[in-house]
Amino acid sequence: MATAPVLPGGFELPLEPRLPRLGSIDAVALEARAAALATRSIKRESKLFALDLAIRVMDLTTLEGADTPGKVSALASKGIHPDPSDPHIPSVAAICVYPNLVPYALERTRGTDVNVAAVATAFPSGQSSLDVKLAEVREVLDAGAQEVDMVIDRGAFLSGRYAQVYDEIVRVKEACAGRAHLKVILETGELGTYDNIRRASLLAIAGGADFIKTSTGKLPSSATLPVTLCMLEVIRDVHEETGRVVGLKAAGGIRQAKQAVQYLVQVHETLGLAWLTPDRYRLGASSLLNDVLMQIRKERTGRYQNPDYFTVD
Amino acid sequence: MTKTKREVARRPASAAIPSGWEYAPAPESRDIVRVNESYGLYIGGGFVEPLSNERYTTIDPAREEPLSEIAQAGKADVDRAVKSAREAYAERWSNLRPSERAKYLFRIARLLQERSREFAVLESLNGGKPIRESRDVDLPLAAAHFFYYAGWADKLEYAFPNRTPRPIGVAGQIIPWNFPLLMLAWKIAPALAAGNTVVLKPAETTPLSALLFCDVVRQAELPPGVVNIVTGDGRTGAELVSHPDVDKIAFTGSTEVGKAIARTLAGTGKRLTLELGGKAANIIFDDAALDQAVEGIVNGIYFNQGHVCCAGSRLFVQESIYETVMAKLKRRMRTLRVGDPLDKNTDVGAINSKQQLDKIGALVQSGIDEGAEIYQPPCKLPERGYWFVPTVFTNVAQSYRIAQEEIFGPVLSVLTFRTPDEAIEKANNTPYGLSAGVWTEKGSRILAMAQGLRAGVVWANTYNRFDPASPFGGYKESGFGREGGRHGLEPYVQLDGE
């Protein structure tokens, strides 16, 4: 087995017997806490701060079979200038696309501080051989992607082959090292329990993830507030224990500004302001941006504007 | 990451990232509720002036501002209320078809739901509790109690199979200031469902929601005299307790007053239920889901400023995880938002009264004097009003006052244990026995602990969770009798052979 950077306690032993015993989550209490945090009432300037932040940490995403170079270019332009009529609106953090479309996204983002993230490793299922997955990772790196969003092998995880999952992450991390940021997608909707989500998070972090990410967005059940709270608590524990900083990306199902604010409040009250930067937190979304823009304008002017005043890309 | 950041000029103003994310004030509007300048006593279906001619001022503890002038009912007023209840019992309520009684109770429950925002604001205004709690806990539960007991009203023979339950008469009910409307619901709903009429005395400091409830009673067109509300301090309560025509007393409050009531009633044949103080143990085992357990600790002691009789005020942590739990707890405490009860983001509100604040202060001082180590998170308190910073004591010995006496404030005493047996022994080592909490991922241990703990309620992997279907009440000096569930009907019925 390959070795990883700083390990959380418990990982010095073989994974199979250890991992199922690493911490546990009480589902009822976790959901209650997430629900309580979601009732925070964020108004006026504190809301504007959150909306601005939601854009700065956004991974503007398109992952469709129907994606074309044109679609990706348009989306990249939108990410750079979300609202051409308002110079105060920041750019998004990154554009997230399929491997073959990386060059078209890069063409637009060159010269800006918007990154290009590519999904890889047989996204979304992860059902392929390690060689194929690594080849795909090298390809997106060579194309110039600055961030790689890999998926874990859920089949291996659920059948208890943790070492295999871990090894894959380590190998992908080796490929990315020094070239790109690695986000590890757990696909929490397929993991079944919060206990599993906690274990998979630890596994990904031990394997070298820079970010852990909830979902591919390809399942009906994607990011939820309890799921991200569970993952944030893992990140907090690892940080307390080792000092290592790991980021979180919530993805899938986040369509409204109100939801985005709830996710940000959760980060704020779990890990503090230090995590509210694009280096440590991302919101993966395809249709969230315009709602955020609309809410910003509403906060500034006091009224809602017709959706036709926000560009559709 | 090797990406070179190139010159970008498109982030001008927003680059000024604030050093903190201060939530803007988000106050619930108090205009939704109208508070009269003064209130009379609610007797016989309407407000009457007190014969005592005495009044006192009720205040908003968060601002120390007067809210209203409240009647101080005297002996003659209490007598009048009891007479009205007796008449309503004999002539209108006890003979009513049970399904009709149920209708009235369902109506009250629905009206409480409809007017919940109004009640929630009033509850926070007069009591100091955060609006988040009065809105999400007190009001939904109060309505749920009326719904629940409405359902029992015409099914009493199923609650007591083969025992022909009958009502007992006039119930005198005295409630505390920590959950004013919810305690009113706990008392009135089962009494009425079983066919009794009531005279209820709300706490001296928090009469307003009970007085607003009179308007719900009016809207529900409840027959006059079925519910009577008399306000006042302990003297009014004493008059109610010693009134010869009251058949049953239900009291929730301090153990001291509970004992006095028991002495007064001894030998009179009146029925009595007491729900008194507590000093509950919240027990955390090393295999517990720790982050959730920490939430449970916080919810156990800082919920409603610790003004909760079943508060988890003694924390028992297994020694092997003591450091981790304390670090997590202290970090969590730093995120508690103390302040304006009407702000929707407030976690901990105002202390209910000056008197209570002084009592908390004195007990905390005793903890410091006895040698316990105090921790309080940095916290900016409003200048006016009664406030107490959430507090935790470590290095606490079983013998310290803060580990023995009920503080009834946001003050937690932390003790440690090594084995389950030791946890049970220490947890039971108190004159009280109202509630307890157990945190472990091991199901068999939960069952074993629940069997060993002498407490009326044992929560497993949760805390301060209430449901109208679940009975609530204490062992030892925490009182006797149960409220809630089928058990909660028992004090309000007489059965064959009684």
Residue B126: CATH number of its domain: 3.40.605.10
Whether B55 and B88 share a structural domain = yes
State yes or no: cis peptide before B130, omega within 30 of 0.
Answer: no
- Are A276 and B22 a contacting pair at CB < 8 A? no
The answer to whether position A153 is within a domain reads yes
Whether B427 and B318 share a structural domain = yes
Considering CB atoms only, which of A24, A32, A46 is closest to B24?
Answer: A46
The answer to whether position A228 is within a domain reads yes
Whether B164 and B236 share a structural domain = yes
Residue B477 pLDDT class (50, 70, 90 cuts): very high
B-chain residues near A81 (CB < 8 A): 10
Active-site annotation holds for A313: no
- Are B10 and A87 a contacting pair at CB < 8 A? yes
Give the pLDDT confidence score for residue B10 in this predicted structure: 33
Q: How do B55-60 and B65-71 pair as beta strands?
A: antiparallel
Compute and round to an integer the Cα radius of gyration of chain A.
19
Whether B138 and B49 share a structural domain = yes
The answer to whether position B130 is within a domain reads yes
Inter-residue contact B278 to B310 (CB < 8 Å): yes
Whether B162 and B34 share a structural domain = yes
| Rounded Cα–Cα distance for residues A96 and A283 (Å) | 11
| Average pLDDT, integer, range B451-472 | 97
Residue B35 burial (CB count, 10 A): 17
| Average pLDDT, integer, range B114-132 | 98
| Rounded Cα–Cα distance for residues B27 and B229 (Å) | 31
The answer to whether position A7 is within a domain reads no
The answer to whether position A304 is within a domain reads no
Mean pLDDT for chain B?
94
Whether B43 and B98 share a structural domain = yes
Mean pLDDT of successive 10-residue segments in chain A (313 residues)?
55 61 87 97 96 98 97 97 93 98 98 97 96 98 98 95 93 96 97 95 95 96 96 95 95 96 98 96 96 95 91 86
Residue B13 pLDDT class (50, 70, 90 cuts): very low
Active-site annotation holds for A149: yes
The CATH number assigned to the domain holding B360 equals: 3.40.309.10
B-chain residues near A175 (CB < 8 A): none
pTM above 0.90, yes or no: yes
User: B336 — phi, psi (to 5°)?
Assistant: -70, 135
Considering CB atoms only, which of A46, A91, A180 is closest to B21?
Answer: A46
Q: Which of B254, B201, B272, B188 is nearest to B230 (CA)?
A: B201
CA dihedral A112, A148, A310, A82 (to 10 degrees): -20
- The count of structural domains within chain B is 2
Look at the block and give the residue holding tokens 């409050």: B253
CA distance readout (Å), A161 to A152, A182, B365:
12, 22, 56
Can you give the residue range of the structural domain that contains A83? 22-298
Q: How do B314-318 and B281-284 pair as beta strands?
A: parallel
Q: Classify residue B343 by its DSSP letter.
A: B
Q: Scanning every residue of chain B, which has its alpha carbon at the shortest distance from the alpha carbon of A178?
A: B1
The answer to whether position A305 is within a domain reads no
The answer to whether position B127 is within a domain reads yes
Give the pLDDT confidence score for residue B15 in this predicted structure: 38
- The count of structural domains within chain A is 1
Q: Among A103-112, A156-165, B194-203, B408-417, which stretch is predicted with the lowest mean pLDDT?
A: A156-165
Sign of the Cα torsion B417, B421, B423, B428 reads negative
Cα distance from N-terminal residue to C-terminal residue, chain B: 82
The answer to whether position A1 is within a domain reads no
The CATH number assigned to the domain holding A120 equals: 3.20.20.70
- Are A29 and B295 a contacting pair at CB < 8 A? yes
Sign of the Cα torsion B171, B174, B180, B186 reads negative
Q: Is the pLDDT of residue B1 over 70?
A: no
Alpha helices in A42-152 (DSSP H): 44-56, 69-80, 102-109, 130-143
The answer to whether position B12 is within a domain reads no
Whether B112 and B210 share a structural domain = yes
Can you give the residue range of the structural domain that contains B306? 281-468
Inter-residue contact B488 to B471 (CB < 8 Å): yes
The answer to whether position B332 is within a domain reads yes
Residues of B near A (CB-CB distance < 8 A)? 1-3, 5-6, 8, 10-14, 18-26, 132, 136, 287-293, 295-296, 327, 335, 344-345, 441, 461-462
Give the pLDDT confidence score for residue B12 in this predicted structure: 35
As given in the structure block, the two tokens for residue B329 are 């707890």
| Rounded Cα–Cα distance for residues A62 and A57 (Å) | 16
The answer to whether position A9 is within a domain reads no
Whether B257 and B147 share a structural domain = yes
Give the pLDDT confidence score for residue A1 in this predicted structure: 44
- Are B8 and A112 a contacting pair at CB < 8 A? yes
Q: Which of A209, A215, A183 is nearest to A197 (CA)?
A: A215
Give the pLDDT confidence score for residue B337 in this predicted structure: 96
Residue B361 burial (CB count, 10 A): 14
| Average pLDDT, integer, range B49-59 | 97
Whether B185 and B294 share a structural domain = no
Provide the shortest C-alpha distance from residue B228 to chain A (in Å).
Answer: 37
The answer to whether position B106 is within a domain reads yes
Q: Is the pLDDT of residue B145 over 50?
A: yes
Largest CA distance in chain A: 59
Give the pLDDT confidence score for residue A17 in this predicted structure: 60
B-chain residues near A276 (CB < 8 A): 21
Whether B220 and B317 share a structural domain = no
The answer to whether position A275 is within a domain reads yes
H or E, element range at B212 = helix B208-219
Inter-residue contact B91 to B106 (CB < 8 Å): no
Give the pLDDT confidence score for residue A15 in this predicted structure: 65
Give the pLDDT confidence score for residue A16 in this predicted structure: 60
Whether B211 and B250 share a structural domain = yes
Whether B239 and B103 share a structural domain = yes
Residue A211 burial (CB count, 10 A): 24
